[in-house]
Structure 1
Amino acid sequence: MDSHQLYLTSWLKKRFKNKWIKAVVILLASVCLFIVGLYISIYLGLFGELPSKKDLSSIKQEQATQLLDQHERLIGKYYIYDRQPVAFEDFPQHLINALVATEDSRFYKHDGIDNMSLIRVFVKNLIFQDKSAGGGSTITLQLAKNLYGREDYMLFSMLINKFKESIIAKRLEAIYIKEEILTLYLNTVPFSDNTYGIESASLKFFNKSAKELSITEAATLVGTLKANTYFNPRTHAERSKKRRNVVLHQMVNNGYLSKDSLNFYTTQDLKLDYHSFNHDLGIAPYFREEVKQQLEAILDSIKTPEGKFYNLYKDGLVVHTTLDVTMQSMAEAAMKEHLTKLQSDFEASYGNNSPWNLSSEVLKSAITNLPIVKQYKEQGLTDAQLMDSLRIKRPVALFDWNDNIIRNVSILDSLKHYLKFLNIGMLSIEPSTGAVRTYIGGIDYRYFKYDHISQSERQVGSTFKPFVYTAAIEDGLKPCTYFALDKITYTDYDDWTPTNSGNAEQDPYINYTLEKALSNSVNTISVKVLNEVGIAKVLEQAKKLGISKELPNEPSLALGTAEINLGELTGAYASYVNKSRAVKPYYITKIEDKYGNVIASFEPKVSRKEAYSQYTRQVMLEMMKSTVDRGTASRLRNTYGLTNAIAGKTGTTQNNKDGWFVGLTPNLVTVTWVGNDNHSVGFKTTRMGQGANSALPIFAKFYQKLNRSDEFSAITKAKFENASEDVLKDLDCKPTKRDGFIKRLFKKRNKQKKFN
């Protein structure tokens, strides 16, 4: 042993005789042993099994199912975590630069653990309690946390979780190259509004794919990673802008952005194009819900290559649908424009004697049918106690056309509020296939879950009359057959006497052709036509048109007292512009797995058989063109100025409960219904409630918007085929004629007869 070693040994012996130094050394050694022991125990899995390199090499993240329209534009998603992965090649370089500059400037220099940063954190954060020192976390460490989360270990949670993440980070760096780690990170990191991954965040906040993000947009999203709620650009715009500018400065400091451009970018306004994919919000919520119901049934019969069933919310499926997002937005805008005014007129027409008035029998009945009322009665509450309970107020978000509001209201207030609203069902399909292009099941899915397309059946009123006339012409009745306007009492049906609205029946000696009668929706003649052809043949014709429901076997069928699903009605009407073949509306064209493999595909459901002859179809189409040009739907021309090739039919039901309009164009069939969810509440007047006033304007405004876009020229500029010479010849007659003197002399007024 040389002199230096002897000196050191002597020095240590002297120092260890000092009990304080000895205690500190023992303490430090104990801490080191504890940390080493803790690390080894974590590594061995005593605090939970760590993912192996094999596990990490096949990372499977839950992914949202995407719903695309016919042009592959995103409509919505089904998810537990809103995550939508993309490849590294789809990340713009300025996005990568912003991320690295802000979150981990030494990312390309370390192997998952940045020891220099950890030392800084240990000294500043743990020893000096400087919370501004940061966490010393690398992108790889953050990825480990994003993938596997953190658990609560009480006193040493932070240390244990950090050790676990460091082990996982080391393994990740050993398996993946830096680009792959960045890809995994950007596809899993949580952004604001419960959004996971850069693609989902980009679509939500800027309505564009991540590859299209500008420098300022990329910096905005990267800036939210520090605290995605605190820097949420939707709720804290100014705060988010300041954070964005910090990111831009970091890009300059790390050489990713020139100093000269900094002022240009930092002075730009924060502009969002926010699109929520929350199921209750966004475009076509009723359509998305209907597709979800169909998907759940479809996926019950399809298995993955591993033999497992697909999970709609986790497996990253891509569902291609028939909807057209642009058309859908136009339809929704048209609906809002019209119903906002119609709702105001509807409420004003009732004044103080409305069905939602507290003294109204309608409201009293609605109260009785409330589930909470039934519960209260089972609990033995008296009527007085029950009403007191219904009057307890609480803050509630209420629907309103002008602006949704939060008010202190009771259950009773809420019931009265919602009882007054008119609702809608609107469906547009491609007639040759049944492909659904627009779908509005109600006015606002957040507050009105009931879908008036898939769930509802309402009386269809005069929209059923074309089916009666179709059966009659198919049975041989000539289009120029004349029927008198006069009323008839059918004695075998409780002396039922159908009447006409307006002034049409003032002259009982006037006779109309079928075309005139249908285009003016004359009730008395429709019943007479039904009587002529027979109810049985009309019922059979309806079945051929795809109407599956058993319809009433009685004369009132001619006036549309049958309740029919809107989707079936639309598919039946499509036959008039689809070579006499009915269709079934369909929604999904194909489903792909997350790798792009088609796991299911669907074809249009078009009837193989003609429901009636081509002669009948052309006659009916000419009649319904007259409805638009000269009949009950003529306001399409003279009020809304539409010059498109359009045929159609209006409809109004008993006591003005339902307003309908069917619009036929060569390449699009649209059916619109407007009414109250409560069957007891109708329009105050026929003038307001008739289909021409309540439902037709939505179609008109929708087509006005289509006409302004060259994108839809194939629809708006399409022309009907020319009717055959035989059809034109058979329709070539005077629309009306008056009985001669002798016939008038001997004609009985208010005739009575039995129905055939």
Structure 2
Amino acid sequence: MAKKSQKPGMSKFTKWIWRLFLGGLISVFLIFMLAALGVFGTLPTFEELENPENNLATEVISIDGETLGKYYRENRTPVKFSELPDNLIEALIATEDERFYEHSGIDFQGTARAAIKLGRDGGASTITQQLAKMLFTKQASGNIAKRLIQKVKEWVIAIRLETQYTKNEIITMYFNKYDFGHNAVGIRSASRIHFGKEPNEMTVEESAMLVGMLKNSSLYNPMRRAEMVTQRRNVVLGQMVRNEFLTEKEKDSLQQLPLELDINLEGHSDGTATYFREYVREFMRKWMKENPKSNGESYNIYRDGLKIYVTLDSRLQQNAEEAMTEHMSNLQRVFFKQQKKNKTAPFYDLEKSQIESTMLSAMKRSDRWRKMKKNGASEKEIKESFFLETPMKIFSWKGDIDTVLTPYDSIRYNKHILQSGLLSTDPTTGHVKAWVGGIDYKHFQYDHVKQGKRQVGSTFKPFVYATAINQLGLSPCDEFPNTPYTIPAGKYHLDEDWTPRNSGDEYGGLRTLKNALANSINVISANLIDQTTPQNVVKMAKNLGVETDIPAVPSVALGTVDLSLYEMVGALNTFANKGMYVKPMMILRIEDKNGTILEEFTPETREVLSESIAYTTINLMEGVTRYGSGVRLRTSGGKYPDKVVTGYPYQFTNAIAGKTGTTQNQSDGWFIGLVPNLSTGVWVGAEDRAVHFVDITRGQGASMALPIWALYMKRNYENEDLNISTEDFEIPEDLTINVDCGRVVKNEEEGGEEEQKPDLNEEIDF
């Protein structure tokens, strides 16, 4: 008897498999439909899909097209698809979604493979699904059931994204959204931070490295795990061979290359023009209040992706920062050595009680004091905390130092650190070209360009001389006696007689105005302000753009007023600009994220002086650099930086109008130098006026500030593309004032209260 056939049994098993399979499909379909209907939570609306939420960084862009910095919650600056290199797109497709151009948001083949192999060969999330997760899921749930629901919702969103956007748009959104770490959100930030270049400039191996980071940017961090990242990059290169984007030979060659990183962090305290960017932030805060969007909402500098085009030139800015770093690091070395002999270092001229008061004031200005007070601590508890040793980082010119100090000692250490500011503008346009508000924004955030005001010393004297030439019709060749000059008590509301002294009490003979300004002869400045009156000198300074209230007293002739670099450079610009005042200008225009111009800015100008008076004042100031306190700009001897104070091998030969300034006890050193199309002012000093060099040789403006100007201008002249003028100042056609005073004896001793030329051959122990 024949055996019974097994077909019915097989058929039953097959039917069971099919029922299970179809049931699964129906279940998935039902879950999918329920998710689409919002049963498992709301899904993004049509409008949200059209405009997915993005936090776009606002960029500050220099006049030469470089991004100086950004303001952001997420450091994202979007790029267009056309700005993505082919090798980057190919690396992405090969590694993350080989069938990207074939599916409609869900790769069913990949999903089936992942299900059968239980994810051992990787998941099946398409690029579109990953984008959906980044845009709308944010954080994956650790709960399996909840994560499954999230996954289904991502499928729904992925399909909707595919209907709303082209494949190229999805790739662009993906690269613009991914967080690569280290404040690098989006491909543009990632390429700039890791390689110092724009995305379209990246090489194949660089693109492969960034695509490799997509798996887990925290794990595959090239700044911490270079070897692991290199291995991951090589996997991506292998995938590119598999998908026929590279040949085996190309892959083998590229895999041998080391990671070539060029790290350029873009934190708020990193990068270039940090002090200037903080000024722009404050400017924008006011601007946004006064200029709302068309719907009445305020712009958000951290999210709206504005573009702020500024007057700064990134090349001049870099030159300025490098010049300041070079000189200040060397000057600080000299200062530290001098302080070893100071028992009350870094203070001079203060009693013990005054030092304690100064330190207490600094403690009360600290974050530590404010936070402890806010948290309810008593003043006694707060003070005691300043004397407990704490791990910290302190500033040094060789890099931050990890150490253990009491907060009190760290404050006293910081008071040893010399500070500086530099402002450089084009006098013809008012455009600010370089702005260095201090030596290190991370440690010292006080801006010494616009925020800080310090006694200006002899840099104020050009205002006195310009007033005298304008009001009294004087010539640079007119002579005045170099003898003590007294303004009696009662005049100009003086309580007592005022008789200023020359430096070194050197008197006798006659001096031309040109010689007197070049050598800062105080007695002649006193004579001039008495003839013109302090009120008229103050009026001249105000007309030239000085905004600070200036007391109309005779001593202002010697620069006893506190002014900012911003005011001083802006005012002296007028002489270089033929008597036309142009207010310093920093912002050119503001655009929204779509490139629509929100506002354009124009310079504020007014005529203050005739061309003849302006040129005559410039001619006077040229004497400073030809045979006065600034003559060291033209010397060829000396050795810098070994001889920071006496070494001046700058050898400038072009026309330079300038003025040095040094205040009482060498607390402040200034130099402001002008060429026809660039005016630059430099200030150097310490946070406290009681912190200073003890001697005039090291502590005068010509030693502290002038070298920064010289190093900066040397760098500028080396780059011919900057077109910094080496020409003479233009002589007015109708000039009737005699400016040719014949030969002036050089190397005369300084007669000013504050300045003195050191012997360039003098040996100074540093």
Map of 1:675 onto structure 2:
685
CA distance in 1, matches of 2:355, 2:243: 68
Map of 1:720 onto structure 2:
729
Map of 1:242 onto structure 2:
231
Residue 54 of structure 1: how far off its partner (Å)? 4.7
The TM-score with structure 2 as length reference comes to 0.87
Cα 1:362–1:729, aligned 2, differ >3 Å: closer, same or farther?
Answer: same
Instruction: Give the secondary structure class of the aligned counterpart of 1:648.
Output: strand
Mapped contact 1:367–1:373 kept (Cα < 8 A): no
Map of 2:345 onto structure 1:
355
Map of 1:468 onto structure 2:
464
CA distance in 2, matches of 1:583, 1:565: 17
Residue 242 of structure 1: how far off its partner (Å)? 2.1
Cα 1:679–1:152, aligned 2, differ >3 Å: closer, same or farther?
Answer: farther
Map of 1:413 onto structure 2:
409
Mapped contact 1:346–1:684 kept (Cα < 8 A): no
- Structure 1, residues 727-752: CA drift from partner, whole Å, max 9, x if none? 56354267589xxxxxxxxxxxxxxx
Instruction: Give the secondary structure class of the aligned counterpart of 1:526.
Output: helix
- Structure 1, residues 422-474: CA drift from partner, whole Å, max 9, x if none? 11111001101211100001111111111111211111110000000110111
Q: 2:121 aligns with which of 133, 155, 177?
A: 133
CA distance in 2, matches of 1:84, 1:381: 46
Residue 711 of structure 1: how far off its partner (Å)? 1.2
Alignment of 1:183-582 (within 5 A): 183-351=172-340, 352-356=342-346, 361=353, 363-369=355-361, 370-371=363-364, 388-479=384-475, 480-492=477-489, 493=494, 494-502=496-504, 505-506=505-506, 508-582=507-581
- Structure 1, residues 132-165: CA drift from partner, whole Å, max 9, x if none? 5322211111111111113647452321221111
CA distance in 2, matches of 1:434, 1:531: 33
CA distance in 2, matches of 1:478, 1:11: 119
CA distance in 1, matches of 2:446, 2:587: 21
Cα 1:633–1:5, aligned 2, differ >3 Å: closer, same or farther?
Answer: farther
Map of 2:641 onto structure 1:
none
Alignment of 1:161-172 (within 5 A): 161-172=150-161
Q: 2:169 aligns with which of 170, 180, 202?
A: 180
- Structure 1, residues 246-284: CA drift from partner, whole Å, max 9, x if none? 111111111100112122211223222222221111000
CA distance in 1, matches of 2:113, 2:396: 56
1:732 lines up with 2:732 in the alignment: no
- Tell me the amino acid that sits aligned with residue 357 of structure 2: S
Instruction: Give the secondary structure class of the aligned counterpart of 1:483.
Output: strand
Mapped contact 1:233–1:240 kept (Cα < 8 A): yes
Mapped contact 2:424–2:678 kept (Cα < 8 A): yes
- Tell me the amino acid that sits aligned with residue 601 of structure 1: E
Instruction: Give the secondary structure class of the aligned counterpart of 1:575.
Output: helix
Residue 7 of structure 1: how far off its partner (Å)? 8.4
Instruction: Give the secondary structure class of the aligned counterpart of 1:121.
Output: helix
CA distance in 2, matches of 1:315, 1:420: 42
Cα 1:10–1:107, aligned 2, differ >3 Å: closer, same or farther?
Answer: closer
Residue 96 of structure 1: how far off its partner (Å)? 0.8
Q: 2:114 aligns with which of 121, 131, 145?
A: 121
Unaligned runs of 5+ in 1: 738-756
- Tell me the amino acid that sits aligned with residue 287 of structure 2: I
CA distance in 2, matches of 1:673, 1:407: 30
Residue 331 of structure 1: how far off its partner (Å)? 0.5
CA distance in 1, matches of 2:545, 2:730: 24
Map of 1:749 onto structure 2:
none
Identity of aligned residues (%): 37
Instruction: Give the secondary structure class of the aligned counterpart of 2:588.
Output: strand
Cα 1:524–1:28, aligned 2, differ >3 Å: closer, same or farther?
Answer: same
- Structure 1, residues 90-111: CA drift from partner, whole Å, max 9, x if none? 2221111111111111212222
Instruction: Give the secondary structure class of the aligned counterpart of 2:660.
Output: strand
Map of 1:97 onto structure 2:
90
Instruction: Give the secondary structure class of the aligned counterpart of 2:527.
Output: helix
CA distance in 1, matches of 2:369, 2:298: 42
CA distance in 2, matches of 1:488, 1:636: 32
- Structure 1, residues 565-595: CA drift from partner, whole Å, max 9, x if none? 2211111100111121222211110111122
CA distance in 1, matches of 2:553, 2:223: 59
- Tell me the amino acid that sits aligned with residue 221 of structure 1: L
Mapped contact 1:398–1:404 kept (Cα < 8 A): yes
Cα 1:693–1:145, aligned 2, differ >3 Å: closer, same or farther?
Answer: same
Please identify, of 226-235 and 69-78, the stretch whose mean Cα deviation from structure 2 is larger.
226-235
Mapped contact 1:645–1:719 kept (Cα < 8 A): yes
Cα 1:273–1:484, aligned 2, differ >3 Å: closer, same or farther?
Answer: same
Map of 1:605 onto structure 2:
604
CA distance in 1, matches of 2:11, 2:718: 94
The TM-score with structure 1 as length reference comes to 0.88
Residue 291 of structure 1: how far off its partner (Å)? 0.8
Q: 2:76 aligns with which of 83, 98, 101?
A: 83
1:705 lines up with 2:711 in the alignment: no
Please, what is the CA RMSD of the aligned residues? 3.0
Q: 1:618 aligns with which of 604, 615, 620?
A: 615
Map of 1:690 onto structure 2:
700
Residue 637 of structure 1: how far off its partner (Å)? 0.6
Cα 1:366–1:523, aligned 2, differ >3 Å: closer, same or farther?
Answer: same
Alignment length (residue pairs) = 714
Map of 1:142 onto structure 2:
130
- Structure 1, residues 661-698: CA drift from partner, whole Å, max 9, x if none? 00100001101111112233222222112110000000
Residue 339 of structure 1: how far off its partner (Å)? 0.2
Residue 123 of structure 1: how far off its partner (Å)? 3.7
CA distance in 1, matches of 2:297, 2:544: 40
- Tell me the amino acid that sits aligned with residue 356 of structure 2: K
Cα 1:726–1:637, aligned 2, differ >3 Å: closer, same or farther?
Answer: same
Cα 1:6–1:453, aligned 2, differ >3 Å: closer, same or farther?
Answer: same
Map of 1:644 onto structure 2:
654
- Structure 1, residues 33-55: CA drift from partner, whole Å, max 9, x if none? 87666544433223321124453
- Tell me the amino acid that sits aligned with residue 141 of structure 1: Q
CA distance in 2, matches of 1:566, 1:631: 22
1:634 lines up with 2:631 in the alignment: yes
Residue 116 of structure 1: how far off its partner (Å)? 2.6
CA distance in 2, matches of 1:588, 1:103: 43
CA distance in 2, matches of 1:390, 1:573: 44
CA distance in 2, matches of 1:171, 1:487: 88
CA distance in 1, matches of 2:241, 2:738: 81
Pair member with larger Rg = 1
Map of 2:751 onto structure 1:
none
Mapped contact 1:512–1:736 kept (Cα < 8 A): no
CA distance in 2, matches of 1:580, 1:618: 8
Cα 1:194–1:734, aligned 2, differ >3 Å: closer, same or farther?
Answer: closer
Cα 1:380–1:133, aligned 2, differ >3 Å: closer, same or farther?
Answer: same
CA distance in 2, matches of 1:175, 1:535: 72
Q: 1:50 aligns with which of 43, 47, 71?
A: 43
Please identify, of 443-452 and 728-737, the stretch whose mean Cα deviation from structure 2 is larger.
728-737
CA distance in 2, matches of 1:614, 1:624: 15
- Structure 1, residues 495-551: CA drift from partner, whole Å, max 9, x if none? 44322224xx43x32221111000111122211211121111111111111112221
Cα 1:34–1:704, aligned 2, differ >3 Å: closer, same or farther?
Answer: same
Map of 1:61 onto structure 2:
54
Residue 418 of structure 1: how far off its partner (Å)? 0.7
Mapped contact 1:350–1:684 kept (Cα < 8 A): no
- Structure 1, residues 214-249: CA drift from partner, whole Å, max 9, x if none? 111111111111111222223333322222111111
